[in-house]
Chain A
């Protein structure tokens, strides 16, 4: 079975632009979470979606938004990019929300110039 897939793998944007990152969960998983990982640090929680509804939100500004589609895939949008948004963005899927084991994708590396 395919694992969690993310696209694109790498992305370069300039300050002020907008970006959309995509994630496809493992088949049968209904929950998707998004994380930001800066080099040398642990992943920082951004959002969790379950059954197309937001079930959790981390301490990120409103420039960050996400949605989950009927097929349980998800998009993360970041508006008005800042240099500090440069990071690895990880998507993780799980069977349900809450304290479930999460399965991580390889990530999208975003560089903001």
Chain B
């Protein structure tokens, strides 16, 4: 079945370091891909999305490119801040016998000052 696999955490970085959180997926069709973020004490919220191959989603300095050939949607940021500390979820949404959204297990990021 369809699935989303993201790198295990926690990931601990110093402020201004480069961030990559890997995400790969399996899907039978052409899904939309998302990164959601959950800050401490807050609910899930959309960070960025891409709806077709080679699209790049971006928001708040984060970027991810929809790579159909490698079935990947890796999240990157050039310089992280302490305020980026959160749990990041990769997700796909597609129609496969009905609409479904599948989330990865989440990656916790800690950024040290």
Contacts and interface: CB of A to CB of B under 8 A. Distances in A.
A28 interface: no
Interface of A: 33, 35, 40-45, 48, 50, 54-58, 90, 92, 97-107
A103 B34 CA distance: 12
B24 interface: no
A102 B49 CA distance: 11
Contacts of A104: 36, 43-45
A42 B51 contact: no
Interface stretch (B11-19, B72-80, B100-108): B100-108
A42 B105 contact: yes
Contacts of B102: 45
Interface of B: 4, 31-32, 34, 36, 43-46, 49, 51, 89, 91, 93-95, 98-106
Contact of B101 (A33, A41, A105): A33
A100 B49 CA distance: 9
Nearest to B89: A42
The 3 A-B pairs with the shortest beta carbon distances in the complex, nearest first, are: A99-B32, A42-B103, A56-B99
A50 B100 CA distance: 12
B99 A97 contact: yes
Given A56-B98, A98-B93, A99-B31, A106 B103 contact: no
Nearest to B90: A42
A57 B105 CA distance: 19
